[in-house]
Every structure is written in structure tokens, then in C-alpha cells.
């Protein structure tokens, strides 16, 4: 498929962007703690410009001193940071990309500790339980903040930026003025629509004055806040039209405030372009270019959005983390070469919130752009044992460094337990990741040997310089009476189609593994009950995923027994003990599924450590954990062989 529409240039105010591929603003925690951009920041953005993105948006940049939402947020409230931004922008310009800087005051979503000052908002309403109550800005303070946006835009222009993007979405400062849910003011900035828009209008006018029309001015808005009393698509269409009348050059349409952040960074179960219909409403309301965002991972639907006039540009957020060269690969029709984002949220969102540099499960190179993989001067013979994601990623990284690599898999299919993770409802994109790893190994020339159980004898025969043990994990079997009954079905065997469950099913284990197995069965109309030791099922599931997983529980009528310690297994149920020490039985099930997690499987390390010059263990072979840990360890080992 050719992507003709996506590779057409477009004018946004005074700048011309070479194509319709956009990197949206995403917090990455690569900046220095003093608010300057780091060498890693420059390398990160340049890599995406090199990969073909036409418009690069630098992450939310702090406009006002005392409004810093995190320790590693870039800042433009002082001239001292201009030079560091210039280095980032020059690197992107060298690769033919235009650069926009998002200007942000986090408002009630900020952090007083990081900011060193009280957080502020249109009205003193906390963003969520546990957050600081923001200080309501006085009328005079609002006018002062407007000047701050103008000065930040001037600094952006002096650094060489082609555009600035005013952050008006997600419950941040400007958003609190737009929405009647958070704006209860009775001065000229509150009340009617015109007054609630006044802050935004004056910011645009101030930026136009300080930049003299030399750079483009964009704004990011919500298509809907997704909370009662907040903005909906009808409000947002009117807001977009009003902003156009104020002289805005383009609209970037996002979605939701943070308490509904499953709409901001949708999990795996949500399809790409899920906000498309809302974006169309905005597009009909304005004549300026509209940028759409919302879990776009492949270019096919993006091409339709632009071709059909439903949007003008498409922002590939987490996908640009997973594959910075996605546009180039689309242009060259190398679609199978793309590394997909699977919306796992493990390395990006979780680290962003924690104040740590972001990383990526599917792209272990993210965060290492300043230290690119180089060809080795001393090629080694490398054996990789295990064909899960740890083994596959270690194999292609080692091969790309110039080593002679053979990967051994004991079974007849690659992917390990990660392959089975694709089976529960809404997790199919995981298969795309596994296939991309296999393809990369094959394309790089990794030799893959299937149905081969590696033994010390084979290692002696092959005489490798290095062995990477990535043998993964197996079903966790605790020392509980009856657990070894052959009637008990292991969850992995169920998902893999090796065992079938009856109509009425008890799933033992209510962590992520058990809950997703329960949803898998519920979708097939089994009568499912989950029993869990903790007081809550799915306690280890990332929030955005859990929202939809618990909806599956509701939709499929999955029942829960919590706070229950299983003491004995029967063919048709279990005996369990509650916190008060009382024992109970739940029986009468057609099938009992064991889904209490996994334990590491490492049968070779001790046997071969004296046979090979160097032995490395990665992934679940060390300890059963997240797939993110597996690919990070694969990179750490293979990049230094």
C-alpha cells in the first residue's frame, strides 16, 4: 500500500511541513533537572526526525517558574535554557523536520514539591483525591501569566523553533479556564463562553506580539473531557472555531482529563484512531489544519483520515517511541520492518509518572539514542537459548553488532509466554510485536534452530564464545495439596489450546494472569469464578488496562472470591481459608484452572558455567517478571558482548 496522502507537504501558518507524520509532545524525563535539554534529549528527537517525521513536538515545556510538574521537565521561563533547545532543534532541522515546542503550565495537575511553589488553577478545585488544592489565581495574576506565555514563545523562536503549541488540554492550567466544571470564577475570566475563552485568546495575542508572526501557533485541546460537567465534543468544536478566529494556525485534538487517562494513552484493548469521529467534528468546525492523535500504530488508517479530509496530520505518539523510523519505512513500503507499539504502558507512562527516563518494551533502544549500537571489532560465536522475547531481542541485537548468532528454541513455535499473553480479549497486538522480532532476526541473518533442547553436550560441541540463557518461566506450582492432580488445567495450556475447559470454571489466581485467563473464558461464555489471595483481583494490573479488564468481569458476569488462601485442590474446586482462620469449600466446577503466575526456568546455568567463556542470564530465566524487564536485559547484555 502506498501512503500518498501522508507524504504530501502542508502549510501551517508560516511553516511548511514536509509530510503529515507528527511526533506529539510526550513527557520523557530526558531533560536535565535545571530545565535545560540534555544530550539524550537532542539524540532522542533527532532520531525521530531522521526516521522521517515531518513535525517534531518537544514535550510539555514549563512556561512559568513555580509551575514545574516533574523534576526533569524542560523549561522556557528563563533565557538560560535557550541554547540547549537550539541544539535539539538544529539536530531536527538537519534531518528536514520542523519543530514545535509545547508550552505548558500544569496547573492543578502540577506538583508543588517539584515546582517549589503552590500550584494554581482557575478555581481552587483539586484535580483528584490526594492532590494539592490549587490556589485560585487572582485576576492580576492571570494577566501576568499571559505575559509568561509570550516570553516563552519568544525564547522558543530564538532557539530556532518553527512553532509553539499552547497546551489547553488534559486538565492543565488553560484547560481549567475553558471548562465550566473547573472554572467557577466570577471575574472577566469566568461565566459565559466568551469569558472562559478570554485567557486562551489573550495568550494567542501575546504570542503573536512577541513573535511578530514569524512562527506558527498551535493549540492542543480536548475533544471531550470525558467527565460529567466537563467539555464535550460540541463545546470543543465551538472552542476550535473560536481559537481559529483568534488567529491560531492549527488545532491538535487530544482527549480527556487525567482522571480518565485511559482515553489519553489508551491501553492495548483500544483500537488505533479511536477518537476519529470526534476529530471529524473539530475538522468540520475549522478551516485551519487539524492534527489527530489517539493510539495510531500503523499508517493505513492514518492515510484514510488524511485522504478523506477527516484530519490533516496524524500524531503517532507511543508508536514513535517504539519505532522512530516508522515514516521512512512507510515511504519505502517496508511495513513488516516496523516495530509496533502494543500499548502496554509499562515503559512509557509508568516511568513518566515516576520521574524516570522512559523506555519501551518493544523498542529496547529507546533512551539509548545518544549511545547507538556499534559494530564490534571482535565478533563472537553466540548461542541464545530460548525463543521468547528476551531471546529474540538479544539475538537480533547481538547479530546487528556483528556477532555470529544462533538461537535455539525447545518447542515448535517462537514467542514464549508473551505469545500466550496475546490470547485474552483485546491483546492481539502483542502478536504483532512477536512477529516483528522474528522478522528482524530472520532479516538480520540469525540462525534459528527449532525443536532443540540445548544440553551441556551440545554446548561442548558448538563451542561458543558466549551463551545467553533466555529459557523463560513455567507455571508456578506451590506446595498445596492436590495441585498436581492431572485434572487441574494449567492456564498456559488452556490459552495454547492444549486443554479445554468445561462450562463452569474456577480460575485459581486473580492477578493479571488469572484475570486475563478469566476474561478469555468469559468471552467464550463460560461461567467463571476467580479466587484470589489478595483482597482485590487484578491488583497488579496497570490502571488503564484494569479499567477495561474489570469491564470484562462485569460484562461476562465473572464472579470473585477474594481474601482467600487456597489450602487444597479438588478435581471440582478448592478448599480455602479466609483472614479469620475459617475454612471454606467452593466446589461443583467442571474445570479448575491454575493461574497463580510463573516461576523462572533455568536448568543450564550451573551446568555450563565452566564450559563457556561467558554466560549471561536474562528475562524470566532470572525471575518471572514483566516483558519490559526481559527486553531491557536483552539490550544490556547483547549491546555489550
2: region left, alpha or beta (phi > 0 left; psi from -120 to 50 alpha): beta
Task: Catalogue the long-range contacts made by 507-510 (C-beta closer than 8 Å, 24 or more residues apart).
Answer: 507/531, 507/593, 507/595, 508/566, 508/569, 508/574, 508/592, 508/593, 508/594, 508/595, 508/596, 509/594, 509/595, 509/596, 509/597, 510/534, 510/537, 510/538, 510/560, 510/562
Cα gap 283→297, rounded to integer Å: 21
CA atoms within 13 A on the CB side of 459: 24
Q: Is 247 exposed, middle or buried (0-12, 13-18, 19+ CB in 10 A)?
A: middle
Catalytic residue among 44, 77, 149, 172: 172
What's the CA gap between 239 and 128, in Å, rounded? Answer: 25
Exposure of 407 in the CB half-sphere (CA atoms within 13 A): 32
What DSSP designation does 138 have? P
Retrieve residue 317's grid coordinates: 505518539
Which residues make beta-bridge pairs with 489?
A: 593
Return the C-alpha cell found at 543.
490502571
Strand partners, 120: 135
Question: Is 423 part of the annotated catalytic residue set?
Answer: no
Q: What single-letter DSSP state applies at residue 268? A: T
CA 135 to chain centre: 32
C-alpha cell at 16: 511548511
Helix H, strand E, coil C: the string for 16-78 is EECCCEEECCCCCCCCCCCCCCCHHHHHHHHHHHHCCCCEEEEEEEECCCCCCCCCCCCECCC
Catalytic sites, residue numbers: 172
Amino acid at each position: 500500500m502506498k501512503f500518498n496522502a501522508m507524504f504530501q507537504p502542508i502549510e501551517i501558518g508560516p511553516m511548511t511541513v514536509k509530510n503529515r507524520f507528527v511526533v506529539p509532545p510526550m513527557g520523557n524525563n530526558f531533560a536535565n533537572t535545571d530545565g535545560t535539554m540534555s544530550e539524550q534529549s537532542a539524540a532522542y528527537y533527532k532520531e525521530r526526525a531522521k526516521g522521517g517525521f515531518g513535525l517534531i513536538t518537544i514535550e510539555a515545556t514549563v512556561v512559568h517558574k513555580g509551575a514545574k510538574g516533574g523534576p526533569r521537565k524542560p523549561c522556557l521561563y528563563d533565557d538560560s535554557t535557550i541554547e540547549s533547545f537550539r541544539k535539539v532543534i538544529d539536530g531536527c532541522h538537519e534531518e528536514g523536520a520542523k519543530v514545535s515546542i509545547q508550552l505548558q503550565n500544569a496547573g492543578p495537575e502540577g506538583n508543588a514539591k517539584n515546582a517549589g511553589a503552590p500550584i494554581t488553577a482557575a478555581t481552587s478545585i483539586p484535580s483528584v483525591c490526594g492532590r494539592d488544592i490549587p490556589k485560585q489565581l487572582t485576576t492580576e495574576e492571570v494577566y501576568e501569566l499571559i505575559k509568561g506565555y509570550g516570553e516563552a514563545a519568544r525564547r522558543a523562536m530564538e532557539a530556532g523553533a518553527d512553532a509553539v503549541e499552547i497546551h489547553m488540554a488534559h486538565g492543565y492550567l488553560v484547560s481549567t479556564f475553558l471548562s465550566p466544571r473547573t472554572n467557577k470564577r466570577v471575574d472577566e475570566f469566568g461565566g459565559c463562553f466568551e469569558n472562559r475563552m478570554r485567557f486562551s485568546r489573550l495568550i494567542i495575542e501575546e504570542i503573536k506580539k512577541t513573535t511578530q508572526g514569524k512562527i506558527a501557533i498551535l493549540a492542543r485541546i480536548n475533544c471531550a473531557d470525558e467527565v460529567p460537567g466537563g467539555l464535550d465534543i460540541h463545546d470543543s468544536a465551538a472552542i476550535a472555531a473560536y481559537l481559529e478566529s483568534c488567529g491560531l494556525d492549527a488545532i491538535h485534538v487530544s482527549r480527556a482529563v487525567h482522571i480518565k487517562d485511559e482515553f489519553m494513552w489508551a491501553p492495548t484493548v483500544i483500537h488505533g484512531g479511536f477518537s476519529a469521529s470526534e476529530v471529524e467534528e473539530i475538522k468540520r468546525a475549522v478551516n485551519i489544519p487539524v492534527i489527530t492523535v489517539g493510539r495510531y500504530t500503523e499508517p493505513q488508517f492514518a492515510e484514510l483520515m488524511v485522504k478523506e479530509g477527516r484530519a490533516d496530520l496524524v500524531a503517532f505518539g507511543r508508536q514513535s517511541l517504539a519505532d522512530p523510523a516508522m515514516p521512512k519505512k512507510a515511504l519505502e513500503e517496508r511495513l513488516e520492518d516496523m516495530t509496533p507499539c502494543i500499548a502496554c504502558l509499562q515503559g512509557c507512562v509508568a516511568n513518566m509518572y515516576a520521574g524516570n527516563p522512559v523506555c519501551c518494551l518493544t523498542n529496547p533502544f529507546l533512551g539509548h539514542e545518544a549511545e547507538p549500537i556499534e559494530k564490534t571489532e571482535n565478533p563472537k560465536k553466540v548461542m541464545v537459548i530460548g525463543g521468547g522475547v528476551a531471546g529474540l531481542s538479544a539475538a537480533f541485537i547481538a547479530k546487528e553488532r556483528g556477532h555470529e548468532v544462533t538461537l535455539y528454541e525447545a518447542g515448535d513455535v517462537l514467542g514464549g509466554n508473551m505469545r500466550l499473553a496475546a490470547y485474552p480479549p483485546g491483546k492481539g497486538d502483542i502478536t504483532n510485536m512477536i512477529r516483528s522480532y522474528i522478522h528482524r532476526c530472520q532479516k538480520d541473518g540469525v540462525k534459528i534452530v527449532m525443536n532443540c533442547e540445548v544440553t551441556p553436550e551440545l554446548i561442548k560441541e558448538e563451542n561458543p564464545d558466549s551463551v545467553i540463557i533466555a529459557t523463560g518461566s513455567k507455571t508456578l506450582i506451590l506446595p498445596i495439596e492436590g495441585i498436581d492432580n492431572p485434572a487441574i488445567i494449567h492456564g498456559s495450556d488452556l490459552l495454547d489450546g492444549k486443554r479445554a475447559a468445561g462450562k463452569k470454571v474456577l480460575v485459581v489466581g486473580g492477578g493479571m494472569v488469572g484475570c486475563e485467563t478469566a476474561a478469555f473464558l468469559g468471552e467464550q461464555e463460560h461461567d467463571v469464578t476467580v479466587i484470589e489471595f489478595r483482597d482485590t483481583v487484578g491488583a497488579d494490573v496497570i490502571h488503564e488496562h484494569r479499567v477495561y479488564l474489570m469491564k470484562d468481569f462485569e460484562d461476562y458476569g465473572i464472579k470473585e472470591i477474594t481474601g482467600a488462601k487456597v489450602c487444597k485442590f479438588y478435581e471440582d474446586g478448592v478448599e480455602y481459608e479466609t483472614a479469620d482462620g475459617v475454612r471454606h469449600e467452593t466446589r461443583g466446577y467442571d474445570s479448575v484452572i491454575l493461574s497463580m503466575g510463573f516461576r523462572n526456568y533455568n536448568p543450564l546455568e550451573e551446568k555450563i558455567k565452566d564450559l563457556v567463556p561467558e554466560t549471561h542470564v536474562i528475562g524470566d530465566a532470572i525471575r518471572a517478571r514483566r516483558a519490559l524487564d526481559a527486553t531491557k536485559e536483552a539490550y544490556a547484555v547483547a549491546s555489550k558482548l
